[in-house]
Amino acid sequence: MGPRGTEVVSRGSLPYNPAGVVEEGAVPELPEVETVVRDLRPHLTGRRITSIESGRKALRKPWKKRWNADLLGQTIRSVERRGKWIVCRLDGDRRLVFHLGMTGQLTVADAGAERESHTHLIFGLEGLRQLRFRDYRRFGSATVYESPAALEQFFARARLGPEPFGLDATYWRSQLARTARSLKAVLLDQRVVAGVGNIYADETLFQARLHPKVVGRDLDATSADRLRRAVATVLNRAIARRGSTIRNYVGGEGLTGSYQREFRVYGRTGEPCPRCGAPIECLRVAGRATHFCPQCQPARG
**Given 7, 11, 15, 28, which residue is catalytic?**
28
What phi-psi label fits residue 209: left (phi over 0), alpha (psi between -120 and 50 degrees) or beta?
left
> Which distant-in-sequence residues (6+ apart) come within 8 Å of 263 by Cβ?
199, 203, 244
Task: Please state the φ and ψ torsions of residue 135, each to the nearest 5 degrees.
Answer: -160, 100
**Given 84, 95, 129, 134, which residue is catalytic?**
84
Could you give the CA distance from residue 209 to residue 104 in angstroms, rounded to a whole number? 34
Q: Residue 110's beta-bridge partner residues?
A: 129
**Given 7, 29, 32, 34, which residue is catalytic?**
29
3-state secondary structure the chain: CCCCCCCEEEECECCCCCCCCCCCCCECCHHHHHHHHHHHHHHHCCCEEEEEEECCCCCCCCCCCHHHHHHCCCEEEEEEEECCEEEEEEHHHCEEEEECCCCCEEEEEECCCCCCCCEEEEEEECCCEEEEEECCCCCCEEEEECCHHHHHHHHHHCCCCCCCCCCCHHHHHHHHHCCCCEHHHHHHCCCCCCCCCHHHHHHHHHHHCCCCCCEHHHCCHHHHHHHHHHHHHHHHHHHHCCCCCCCCCCCCCCCCCCHHHHCCCCCCCCCECCCCCCECEEEEECCEEEEECCCCCCCCC
28: annotated active-site residue: yes
274: annotated active-site residue: no
84: annotated active-site residue: yes
94: annotated active-site residue: no
Residues with catalytic roles: 28-29, 84, 288
